[in-house]
Structure 1
Amino acid sequence: MTVNSSRKHLVLVGAGRANLHVLKGLARQGSADMNVTLVAPQPYYIDPAMLPGYVAGDYALDEVRIALDPLVEASGVTYVAAHVHSLDATGRRIQLTSGDALPYDVLSVDAEPTLEREAVEHAMPGARRNALFVHPYEAFVQLWPQLQALAQERALQVAVIGGDLAAVELAMAVAQALNSPHGSRVSLISGDAPLLADQPAGLQRRVLSRLKAMHITVLQDRCVGLDGQAVELASGATLLCDAPLLALIAGTPAWLTQAGLQADEVGELVVNERLQSESHRQVFVVPPHAPPETGPVLEANLRTAMGGGNFKKAPVGPVRLRTVSCGDGHAIAAWGFLAIEGREVWNWKDRRDRRQLAALFTP
């Protein structure tokens, strides 16, 4: 793959929310004297906030999965459908699974978090063959209707494996979607720690109450194997299971962690307040679950990195407002120690999510 060497080259890896904001800015303001390439395996954006609603049946697939083509065309960037195989941060070059090598002057990484399947298989033998992985989203949304169809034929025993808020939302969405007509049952295998121990007490209490009301069994245990008929637990117990769903916390892609960028003592990339790698300032990395305000900061800082100017600081700290879809038109919202729930919370969340998604793709 070749690019015009007389112009600087900005490469965007991943169609995450912040990178999409950059595309929107390019559509609005133009790319001036630089080449821009978007690398993403699928020409779609799937909204994580609305994914549980799709599973629950509140949204059709085309409401949560938006084609990138119109935005790509409007922005004037080159789209490459590929995964990244490796990053040479010193040589400023990414190697693609297509076999192409793509040089860059500035790189922006805003890719969907990944689960390293070999590591998962090592921890849970049988997972690769028997489990439905939530990541990548595109594969999950294609396979989910098959599980729905099976639940129309008979009652299923479903196990959602994961212990964060996303896994809890998925468990409740699955319980809503598969309850009829045969009364499929859902268990949540949350791991060794108490469920949502890192969340505010009010939110934790309301979520646990909702799980109980929906007859979702919560097991504070760890999955150590899957054989296609049951889930083996660290405690020695066995849970009969027709369909295990892996909703583990996904992490930074291996190609990025293995690129020689500066990392902390636990292996997490060190990113400064400008979203730059601390060791390679030409590489910008958007943290997982970054707030919507990150997009405008990333766009401004990429333009600064390419053409000069002043950098902006990205928003830092945890997201203060947490919302949890609970199925059946019900949601919980928590702000610090305050938590409220009900249908009105769901209606507000629905309006907010639709508005934010539409804003990403409106020039």
Structure 2
Amino acid sequence: MTVNPSRKHLVLLGVGRANLQVLKGLARHGAGEFHATLVTPHPYYIDSAMLPGHVAGDYALDDIRVPLDALVEASGATFVPAHVHALDPGTRRVQLSSGDALPYDVLSIDTEAVIDRELAEASMPGARRNALFVRPIETFVQLWPQLKALSQERALQVSVIGQGIAGAELAMAAAHALAAPHGTRVTLIAGEEPLLAEESAGLRRRVLNRLKQLNVTLLQDRCTGMDGKVLELQSGASLICDAPLLAAGANPPEWLRHAGLLEEATGLPMVNERLQSEHHRQVFIVPEGASADIGPLLEANLRTAMFGGSFKKIPLATSRLHVVGGGQGHAIAAWGPLSLEGREVWNWKERRDRRQFQALFRI
């Protein structure tokens, strides 16, 4: 791959919201004395926040997926459709699945968390062959219609293996989408710790009640294996299951760990308040779950890293507001100890999600 050595080279790995906003900034302000390259496996963006709504049938796939070509062209960036195989921050090179070694001056990493299939297989033998992995999202949205079509033929026993709000939201969405016409049932296997124990009492109570309303069975247990017909659980019980949806165990990609950019104890990126790597200051990493509107600050820091100036502090604290889709045009909202739910909450959530999604591509 040819890179002009006379110009600074900014490489964007992944199309999380922050990197998309960087591209949008380049489209508005121009790149100036540097060139940008976007590396991501697929030529479009899928919004993970709206995925449960797609599963529930509230959004068509085209409502949550947008081609990248117009934004990339407007930004003047080069698009490289490839996976990352390795990153060497010492030599400032990214090894791609295409076989190219891509050099950079400054690197911005904003990639989707992944579920490592080898680790999943080690902890749940049979997972690689039998589970429908929720990540990468691109693969999941291609396979989900097949499961939905099968539920139109006969009643299924579906299990969602996942913790926290994400696991509960996916279970509620699947329960709503698959129930008719034959009564498919969904079980949420949420680990051994009480579901949403770290959340407010109001949010936890409302989510648990909503799971009951949708006939979702909640098991505080851990899956230890699967064979295509039965799930084996840590408690020693067995659970009949036609389709396990695996949402647990999503982490930063393994090449980040091999590059020495993750904390060994937590597996989280080691970054400062500027989102710079602690050990490689030309590398910026957007942590999973970062605020959706940090892109302009990230763009400013990337420019500073290339040409000098004052860095900006990037606050990572997300809003105290939690909004959880409950399927069937229903949502739950919680702000600290306050909570409410119903169709009006869903209507507000849908308008907000669509507005934020469309704003990502409005130049």
What root-mean-square deviation, in Å, do the aligned CA atoms of Structure 1 and Structure 2 show? 1.0
Q: Is the 8 A contact 1:262 1:277 kept in 2?
A: no
What residue number does 1:256 align with?
256
Bigger mean CA deviation after superposition, 257-266 or 133-142: 257-266
2:212 aligned with 1:233: no
What residue number does 2:338 align with?
338
What residue number does 2:185 align with?
185
Bigger mean CA deviation after superposition, 310-319 or 113-122: 310-319
What residue number does 1:129 align with?
129
What residue number does 1:83 align with?
83
What amino acid sits opposite 2:286 in the alignment? Answer: V
What residue number does 1:27 align with?
27
The residue matched to 1:49 in structure 2 has which SS? Answer: helix
2:310 aligned with 1:296: no
What amino acid sits opposite 2:350 in the alignment? Answer: D
Bigger mean CA deviation after superposition, 279-288 or 41-50: 41-50
What residue number does 1:246 align with?
246
Fraction of identical pairs, as percent: 67
Query: Which whole-Å CA distance do the structure 1 matches of 2:135 and 2:214 have between them?
Result: 25
Distance apart, 1:261 and its partner CA: 2.9
Query: Which whole-Å CA distance do the structure 2 matches of 1:70 and 1:262 have between them?
Result: 33
Distance apart, 1:176 and its partner CA: 0.6
The C-alpha deviation readout for 1:34-53, integer Å capped at 9, x for no partner, is 01000000111111111111
Distance apart, 1:262 and its partner CA: 6.1
Any residues of structure 2 matched to 1:28-47 within 5 Å, and which?
A: 28-47=28-47
What residue number does 1:119 align with?
119
Distance apart, 1:169 and its partner CA: 0.7
Q: Is the 8 A contact 1:160 1:189 kept in 2?
A: yes
Q: Which runs of 4+ in 1 moved over 6 A?
A: none
Any residues of structure 2 matched to 1:200-279 within 5 Å, and which?
A: 200-261=200-261, 263=263, 265-279=265-279
Distance apart, 1:317 and its partner CA: 2.9
Distance apart, 1:200 and its partner CA: 1.4
What residue number does 2:142 align with?
142
What residue number does 1:17 align with?
17
Distance apart, 1:301 and its partner CA: 0.8
Shift of the 181–84 alpha-carbon distance from structure 1 to 2, 3 Å rule, reads: same
The C-alpha deviation readout for 1:313-349, integer Å capped at 9, x for no partner, is 1113343111100001000111111111111110111
Q: Which runs of 5+ in 2 are unaligned?
A: none
Shift of the 236–115 alpha-carbon distance from structure 1 to 2, 3 Å rule, reads: same
The residue matched to 1:50 in structure 2 has which SS? Answer: helix
Query: Which whole-Å CA distance do the structure 2 matches of 1:154 and 1:314 have between them?
Result: 50
The C-alpha deviation readout for 1:144-201, integer Å capped at 9, x for no partner, is 0000110010000000001121111110110111111101000000011011112111
Bigger mean CA deviation after superposition, 76-85 or 263-272: 263-272
The C-alpha deviation readout for 1:13-59, integer Å capped at 9, x for no partner, is 00110000000001111110101000000111111111111111111
2:104 aligned with 1:104: yes
The residue matched to 2:250 in structure 1 has which SS? Answer: coil
The residue matched to 1:23 in structure 2 has which SS? Answer: helix
Q: Is the 8 A contact 2:120 2:249 kept in 1?
A: no
Q: Is the 8 A contact 2:256 2:262 kept in 1?
A: no
What amino acid sits opposite 1:155 in the alignment? Answer: A
Q: Is the 8 A contact 2:282 2:305 kept in 1?
A: yes
2:330 aligned with 1:311: no
Query: Which whole-Å CA distance do the structure 2 matches of 1:165 and 1:81 have between them?
Result: 32
Distance apart, 1:268 and its partner CA: 2.6
Bigger mean CA deviation after superposition, 208-217 or 290-299: 290-299
What amino acid sits opposite 1:308 in the alignment? Answer: G
What residue number does 1:173 align with?
173
Query: Which whole-Å CA distance do the structure 2 matches of 1:319 and 1:233 have between them?
Result: 35
Q: Is the 8 A contact 1:188 1:216 kept in 2?
A: yes
What amino acid sits opposite 1:94 in the alignment? Answer: V
Q: Is the 8 A contact 1:264 1:270 kept in 2?
A: no
What residue number does 2:3 align with?
3
Q: Is the 8 A contact 1:23 1:71 kept in 2?
A: yes
**Alignment TM-score, normalising by the size of structure 2:** 0.98
Bigger mean CA deviation after superposition, 292-301 or 63-72: 292-301
Q: Which runs of 5+ in 1 are unaligned?
A: none
2:50 aligned with 1:50: yes
Query: Which whole-Å CA distance do the structure 1 matches of 2:187 and 2:267 have between them?
Result: 32
The C-alpha deviation readout for 1:57-115, integer Å capped at 9, x for no partner, is 11110000111111011111000000100110110001001110000000000000011
